[in-house]
Each structure stands twice: as C-alpha cells, then as structure tokens.
C-alpha cells in the first residue's frame, strides 16, 4: 500500500450547458499535476450537499489544498454584496469553509493559494475587500488576468516575506516577485492567523496559523505556476506534502 499522503483539492461549479452538458464540478489540472509531482496522491473533492459524505472524504485526507477561483459570497462573512463583487459559487464556499474549519480543529495541514487564502481567512473568522478599490485608491495593480499581454506565470509585483514566519522558513525572508490574479483581498485578519507577507501597497499577501506545530499557510499569488522557474515555490509544495506525510504517520500510530 502506498504511503504517499492523500491531498484533497476542492472543486468549482461549472453550470449546465443546456442540451450539451449537465452541471459539473471542475478544477484545473495544474494543481493536480504539481501536487502529484511533489509526492501527493490528489483527491478531487465534490461539492456535495451531503455533509456526512463530505466528512467521510475529509477523514481520508492527510492534507487540504485550497485552489484559486471565483469570488466568495460576501454573505459568508456577513456583508452585503457590492456591485464590484464578481461571480460566486455558494456550494464551493460551503464545502471549503467546512474543510478548513475541520482541518484547523484537527491540526491537519492546509495550503491555500489565491482565492484559497481568502477562504482560509474567512473560515477562521476574518473578512474580505470585495474589490481592492474599496480598500485604497492608491493600491497597486493586482488583477493581472491571463490574456495575450500577460500569462499566468508572469511576475508582476513584489511581496515582502516577513522574517520569523513559517513561510520565511520555507522560501526565505525578504523580497520576492510573484504573479497576481485577484481583485479581492483580506480586510479584517482572522484572530487565529498572522501575516506572513505583504505587497508594496500594504495589502496582506499571505497568512499562516499562530501555532508553530501545525501547517496552515496561505498565499495570495499562484505558486503552482512558478514551480519550474523558482525553486522556492517548489519548496512550498514540498513542505506541504512533507507535513501531510508527517500527519499521516501520526494518525497511523494513534
């Protein structure tokens, strides 16, 4: 039997195309490929309404990965929707919040990217800017959507990794340059989290848990697109899989 850790990857709703395709749950193959290369067995998580089934899926996981995607529904963090808020996926919100809260309670490793770091913050009790213009007119550009001019792997702005954080111990403290594909961001930081990185305009670019003995890390950029060009981003995924393997071993010895 393989001892490779099982990593759950949440999905997103693809609405039905009448006459062609029923409603589907989908997710980018890129996340699956990168996690597989780092040593994981990926497990794609359905957005089922059967919470008993979802809990059974969760119990079989050694770690939870939260990928990028559409905006969160502001109702999840008790705010009214603004016109600037984009497409949302309430089923995904429900499943991801549950997975994060279960994982935090069980100290199961979590790695979150882009939308994922926002979900992590909300699941822990924080809130979001529904659009960064709401936060600061002087904010730098963060929404470099992939198109002819910019690609997903293009480096577009700096972030400063805070010294003494778990993230710094993995990829190093100081300044690095990242890709960026978001128009929302963390507003109120959840009580149980600390900031591990910021953009030049002060926006929170990453968070992690306060507990040094658990793996709970989120970043606002897309490191999965940078693993071939930046060894530090490869180390981020490797560290997550190592933490999941260690958790797997701890569970096995109980």
Catalytic residues: 114, 222, 224
d(Cα 234, Cα 170) in Å, to the nearest integer? 10
Closest CA to 197 of 186, 188, 213: 186
Total number of residues shown for the chain: 254
d(Cα 195, Cα 189) in Å, to the nearest integer? 8
Q: What phi and psi, each to the nearest 5 degrees, are found at residue 246?
A: -65, -40
DSSP-derived secondary structure letter, 219:
E
Q: Are 218 and 117 in contact (CB under 8 A)?
A: yes
Q: Are 193 and 126 in contact (CB under 8 A)?
A: yes
In which element (H, E) is residue 159 found?
strand 157-161
Residue labelled with tokens 């690609």: 151
d(Cα 40, Cα 32) in Å, to the nearest integer? 9
**Distances from the Cα of 200 to the Cα of 67, 177, 243, angstroms:** 24, 11, 30
């Amino acid at each position: 039997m393989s001892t490779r850790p099982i990593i759950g990857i949440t999905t997103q709703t693809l609405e039905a195309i009448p006459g062609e395709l029923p409603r589907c749950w989908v997710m980018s193959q890129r996340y699956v490929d990168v996690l597989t290369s780092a040593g994981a067995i990926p497990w794609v998580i359905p957005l089922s309404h059967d919470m008993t089934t979802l809990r059974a899926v969760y119990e079989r996981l050694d770690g939870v990965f939260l990928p990028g995607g559409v905006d969160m529904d502001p109702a999840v963090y008790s705010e009214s929707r603004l016109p600037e808020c984009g497409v949302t996926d309430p089923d995904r919100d429900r499943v991801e919040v549950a997975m994060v809260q279960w994982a935090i309670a069980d100290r199961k490793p979590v790695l979150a990217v882009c939308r994922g770091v926002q979900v992590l913050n909300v699941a822990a009790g924080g809130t979001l800017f529904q659009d960064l213009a709401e936060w600061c007119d002087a904010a730098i550009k963060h929404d470099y959507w992939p198109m002819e001019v910019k690609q997903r792997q293009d480096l577009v702005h700096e972030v400063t990794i805070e010294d003494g954080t778990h993230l710094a111990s993995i990829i190093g403290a100081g300044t690095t340059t990242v890709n960026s594909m978001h128009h929302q961001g963390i507003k109120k930081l959840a009580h149980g989290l600390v900031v591990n990185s910021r953009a030049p305009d002060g926006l929170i670019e990453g968070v992690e848990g306060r507990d040094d003995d658990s793996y709970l890390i989120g970043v606002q950029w897309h490191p999965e697109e940078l693993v071939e060009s930046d060894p530090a981003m490869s180390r981020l995924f490797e560290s997550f899989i190592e933490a999941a393997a260690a958790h797997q071993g701890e569970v096995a010895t109980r």
